[in-house]
């Protein structure tokens, strides 16, 4: 359940690759590095507008806002377990360090379309 | 097995070209996401929690070694080196890129495969008994009927935008291994009193959020009349099925709300109106297809194999695998061997590209280059000579594929759950992993005997939890994963929907609860009772109590 | 509004009657089914728009009075119109059958196979999905499996014919 006053970040799936991405100021990234955090409902609406514009431009699909809490360094972390898993970008039973299938580990990337 | 003619090949290849064009139009924005979504779904492509997912059809679960190798190649070339075999005879790739999907579909078409109608509100991949053609109890191989329906339903102009998805399953045996009573349409190939072949037709079954057992529409429709009869069901459903609420749009709701008798009358009335003049003789087409499914020339063997018996005596692990993972074959001296994709601690139904190639090699050497895929997410070698079983087992063991747990407690069925799926409310795979670890001991598993544990990560029930002896449903409760347990489900002819046990469990409490229940069953069982028999003798209330720790 | 016929965009020579308007003799006009039934011959309309859940049998008596049946597609994923079109053709309706609303080029061949002659879409849709896309989509499949649905070459009939020779 989304809480009205919780800080929020913006997520979507990249259209071409399908990977989950997060809005970081002016680009979509595959991790939370520099993710834009909206602290007020107005800021959240503005964030959502950016996402919808990106959707209209056929860069991403399925834009939505995610409730987060901020750690001591003001880095956002989703509050819901589903979104925590999404940020981790792999099944929960895969270790953090590597991809057990032996293929390229996930890399943070900057979406070419948005750059 | 069936081989494409030039028409089938052209159909599949043109369909790939069509999808390639649709992807291009999506990228330019000519197709909106709303419009593209059903088109990509009808080509098997979902957008999931982390990435796209491509679901490839393995029609009626039959696969050649060549096709299995290609599936492995695709896993390595376009994905992350593995695929997931599903509960409906499909394989899913979890990480394809949209831009690669048309190429993947072309590679599939190279080996007469496709992803057509593995999703979307259309007639889905037609499934069948995984032991078709080799089961000792079979009346008629159901696969020619399934292939006839596969072709008839592919790209159907009238039935591609149904109220909701539509699943058909076919069995040709009195013992139902195709779950026909839980399908939108379930067919059983039978012979009538005059010896003519046809189908018993069930409709309106299904799992999902409103599980229902299907109703029998007719005891017999002749094979010549099967397509018109199915067409009549589809037309009534397409016209009358609810479209106001997606949760009430499946045919089971229509059958239930209309009443079985009235629904049957509507189907019969539509059936009587169907213009048969435009139909070429279906029996001829069926005969053409059937020629691809004639039994192979079996060699003549004694049913008992001395080589097999000898190896079983010297190798206890092999003996266990034979007891647990082989099934009775209709030809003497042959057996059906199950390759379990449920090794301890792994994701149920997953296989790596290497494992797929190993299975293909073994099928080439020992199973007439043919494999099958089961609704329990395992693989079948349908034509193994008993005296070659030891060699098969040694090769499987070397490939890490010799788990002896088919239909035992660690043969857990699980949907991908929240680890992959955008719809899921909880994880399934880690629960399955913990159960297989807890019950890893082979002797203990044999003592417990046959039992179905099925796990779904949300009420859509892709893990078929409603028909597990023990069903586990993952939900969200106050911001955490919670698991509801049902008991007494049954996918076979004695079809039953599992009953809820009581309060749910947190993730870390599920395996303990199951262990308590299993211990209780082992204490209370009489003679050689199975879990199911003990459950029915003692009743739901007594059995469910055992799930909960004493206060 | 743009009309697609035989694979190309064309000019519509039909018009929809306004709410209280009646048609002049010889004019090609479309009225809702309710008006046609309520006002009968006095209305003068020779085309009718029916709901997509209408009973095809109830329309049969009107067949010799009307030259056009319009079936709405409220959303492109609502496939009821396909079955209704098929049923009207089977009952012997030989006039123009029109699909109106949200239809996409990828459904055009299906609409024709179910008996539709024309597709009427909004200007916005036509701008986003211009004529070339309709032509291309219509030609994307040259073969089909379902007998009794005109359009691409029928595979079952082709196989059957091959066996006859």
ipTM of this predicted structure: 0.97
* C1 lies within 8 A of chain B by CB: no
Residue contact C159–B7, C-beta within 8 A:
yes
Q: Closest-CA residue in chain A for B29? A: A58
Contacts of B121 in chain C (CB under 8 A): 77, 79
Q: Under a CB-based contact definition with an 8 Å cutoff, are residues B50 and A89 in contact? A: yes
Give the DSSP letter of residue B300: P
* pTM, to two decimals: 0.96
Instruction: Write the residue in B80, B418, B429 that is nearest to A101 by C-beta.
Output: B80
Question: Which is more confident, B80 or A106?
Answer: B80
Chains A and C touch (3+ CB pairs under 8 A): no
Q: CA torsion sign, B89 to B91 to B92 to B97?
A: negative
Q: Closest-CA residue in chain A for B345? A: A93
- Residues above pLDDT 70, as percent of chain A: 83
pLDDT (0 to 100) of residue A100 = 45
Residue contact B160–C104, C-beta within 8 A:
no
Region C134-157: mean pLDDT is: 94
pLDDT in tens, B103-115: 999 999 999 999 9
- Non-local CB neighbours of C124 within 8 Å, separated by 6+ positions: none
Residue contact B50–A90, C-beta within 8 A:
yes
Mean pLDDT of chain B: 96
- Binding-face residues of C in 20-59 toward B, CB within 8 A: 53
Residue contact B420–A91, C-beta within 8 A:
yes
Instruction: Write the residue in B25, B152, B284 that is nearest to C163 by C-beta.
Output: B284
Q: Tokens 């059983």, residue?
A: B188
Q: Cα–Cα distance between B369 and A47 in angstroms, integer?
A: 56
| Closest CA–CA distance from residue C157 to any residue of chain B (Å) | 6
pLDDT (0 to 100) of residue A109 = 37
Q: Cα–Cα distance between C165 and C163 in angstroms, integer?
A: 6
Residue contact B280–C157, C-beta within 8 A:
yes
Q: Cα–Cα distance between B128 and B314 in angstroms, integer?
A: 37
- Non-local CB neighbours of A43 within 8 Å, separated by 6+ positions: none
Q: Under a CB-based contact definition with an 8 Å cutoff, are residues B457 and B428 in contact? A: yes
Tell me how long chain A is: 115
Residue contact C143–B11, C-beta within 8 A:
yes
Q: How far is CA B434 from CA B66, B344, B545, in A?
A: 34, 9, 22
* A106 lies within 8 A of chain B by CB: no
pLDDT (0 to 100) of residue B275 = 85
Region C103-123: mean pLDDT is: 97
- Where do the H-state alpha helices sit in B29-98? 33-41, 65-78
Residue contact C143–B10, C-beta within 8 A:
yes
Q: Cα–Cα distance between B214 and B126 in angstroms, integer?
A: 17
Lowest mean pLDDT among B87-91, B268-272, C36-40, C117-121: C36-40
Region B13-33: mean pLDDT is: 96
Instruction: Write the residue in C80, C145, C151 that is nearest to B152 by C-beta.
Output: C145
Q: Closest-CA residue in chain A for B81? A: A101
Contacts of B28 in chain A (CB under 8 A): 58
pLDDT in tens, B401-460: 999 999 999 999 999 999 999 999 999 999 999 999 999 999 999 999 999 999 999 999
| Closest CA–CA distance from residue C128 to any residue of chain B (Å) | 5
Which tokens in the block code for residue B70? 């290609």
Q: CA torsion sign, C53 to C58 to C63 to C67?
A: negative
pLDDT (0 to 100) of residue C41 = 86
Contacts of C141 in chain B (CB under 8 A): 11, 14-15, 18, 155
pLDDT (0 to 100) of residue A102 = 41
* A107 lies within 8 A of chain B by CB: no
């Amino acid at each position: 359940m989304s809480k009205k006053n919780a800080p929020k970040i913006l997520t979507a799936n990249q259209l071409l690759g399908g990977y989950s991405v997060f809005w970081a100021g002016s680009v979509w990234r595959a991790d939370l590095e520099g993710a834009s955090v909206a602290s007020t409902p107005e800021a959240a609406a503005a964030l959502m507008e950016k996402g919808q514009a990106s959707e209209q431009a056929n860069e991403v699909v399925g834009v939505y806002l995610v409730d987060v809490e901020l750690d001591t360094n003001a880095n956002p972390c989703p509050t819901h377990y589903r979104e925590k898993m999404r940020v981790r970008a792999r099944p929960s039973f895969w270790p953090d360090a590597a991809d057990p299938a032996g293929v390229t580990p996930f890399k943070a990337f900057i979406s070419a379309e948005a750059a | 097995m069936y081989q494409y003619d030039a028409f089938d090949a052209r159909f599949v290849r043109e369909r790939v070209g069509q999808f390639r064009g649709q992807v291009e139009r999506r990228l330019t924005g000519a197709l909106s996401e709303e419009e593209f979504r059903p088109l990509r779904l009808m080509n098997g492509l979902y957008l999931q929690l982390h990435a796209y997912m491509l679901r490839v059809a393995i029609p009626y679960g039959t696969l050649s070694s060549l096709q299995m190798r290609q599936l492995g190649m695709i896993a390595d070339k376009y994905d992350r080196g593995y695929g997931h075999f599903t509960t409906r005879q499909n394989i899913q790739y979890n990480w394809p890129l949209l831009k690669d999907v048309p190429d993947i579909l072309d590679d599939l078409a190279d080996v007469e495969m496709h992803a057509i109608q593995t999703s979307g509100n259309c007639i889905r991949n037609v499934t069948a008994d995984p032991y078709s053609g080799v089961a000792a109890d079979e009346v008629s191989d159901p696969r020619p009927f399934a292939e006839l329906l596969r072709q008839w339903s592919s790209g159907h102009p009238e039935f591609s935008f149904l109220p909701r998805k539509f699943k058909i399953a076919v069995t040709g045996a009195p013992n139902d291994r195709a779950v026909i009573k839980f399908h939108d349409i379930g067919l059983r190939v039978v012979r009538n009193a005059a010896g003519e072949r046809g189908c018993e037709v069930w409709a309106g079954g299904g799992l999902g959020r409103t599980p229902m057992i299907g109703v029998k529409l007719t005891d017999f429709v002749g094979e010549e009349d099967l397509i018109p009869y199915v067409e009549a069901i589809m037309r009534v459903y397409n016209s009358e099925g609810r479209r106001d609420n997606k949760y009430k749009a499946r045919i089971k709701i229509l059958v239930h709300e209309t009443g079985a008798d009235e629904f049957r009358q509507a189907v019969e009335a539509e059936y009587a109106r169907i213009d048969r003049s435009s139909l070429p003789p279906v029996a001829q087409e069926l005969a053409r297809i059937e020629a691809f499914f004639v039994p192979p020339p079996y060699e003549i063997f004694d049913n008992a194999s001395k080589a097999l018996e000898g190896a079983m005596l010297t190798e206890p692990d092999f003996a266990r695998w034979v007891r647990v993972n082989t099934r009775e074959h209709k030809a003497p001296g042959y057996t059906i061997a199950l390759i379990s994709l449920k090794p301890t601690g792994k994701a149920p139904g997953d296989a790596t590209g290497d494992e797929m190639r190993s299975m293909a090699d073994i099928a080439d050497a020992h199973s007439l280059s043919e494999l099958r895929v089961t609704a329990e997410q395992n693989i079948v070698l349908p034509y193994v000579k008993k005296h070659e079983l030891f060699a098969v087992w040694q090769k499987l063991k070397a490939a890490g594929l010799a788990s002896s747990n088919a239909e035992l407690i660690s043969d857990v069925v699980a949907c991908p759950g929240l680890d992959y799926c955008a719809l899921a409310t909880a994880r399934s795979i880690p629960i399955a992993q913990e159960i297989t670890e807890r019950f890893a001991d082979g002797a203990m598993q044999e003592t417990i005997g046959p039992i179905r544990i099925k796990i779904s990560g949300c009420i859509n029930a892709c893990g078929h939890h409603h028909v597990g002896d023990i069903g586990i449903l993952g939900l969200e409760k106050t911001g955490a994963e919670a698991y509801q347990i049902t008991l007494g489900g049954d996918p076979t002819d004695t079809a039953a929907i599992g009953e809820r046990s009581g309060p749910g469990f947190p993730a870390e409490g599920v395996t303990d609860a199951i262990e308590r229940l299993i211990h209780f069953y082992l204490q209370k069982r009489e003679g050689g009772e199975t879990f199911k028999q003990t459950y029915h003798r003692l009743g739901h209330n007594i059995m469910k109590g055992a799930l909960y720790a004493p206060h | 509004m743009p009309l697609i016929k035989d694979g190309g965009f064309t000019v519509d020579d039909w018009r929809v009657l306004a709410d209280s308007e009646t048609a002049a003799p010889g004019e090609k006009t479309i009225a809702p089914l309710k008006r046609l039934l309520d006002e009968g011959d006095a209305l003068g309309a020779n085309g009718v728009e029916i709901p997509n859940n209408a009973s095809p049998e109830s329309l049969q008596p009107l067949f010799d009075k009307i030259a056009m049946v319009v079936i709405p597609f409220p959303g492109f994923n609502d496939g009821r119109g396909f079955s209704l079109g098929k049923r009207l053709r089977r009952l012997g309706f030989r006039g123009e059958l029109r699909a109106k609303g949200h239809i996409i080029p990828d459904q055009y061949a299906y609409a024709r196979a179910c008996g539709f002659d024309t597709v009427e879409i909004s200007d916005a849709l036509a701008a986003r999905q211009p004529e070339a896309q309709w032509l291309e989509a219509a030609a994307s499949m040259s073969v089909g499996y379902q007998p009794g649905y005109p359009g691409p070459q029928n595979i079952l009939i082709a196989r059957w014919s091959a066996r006859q020779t």
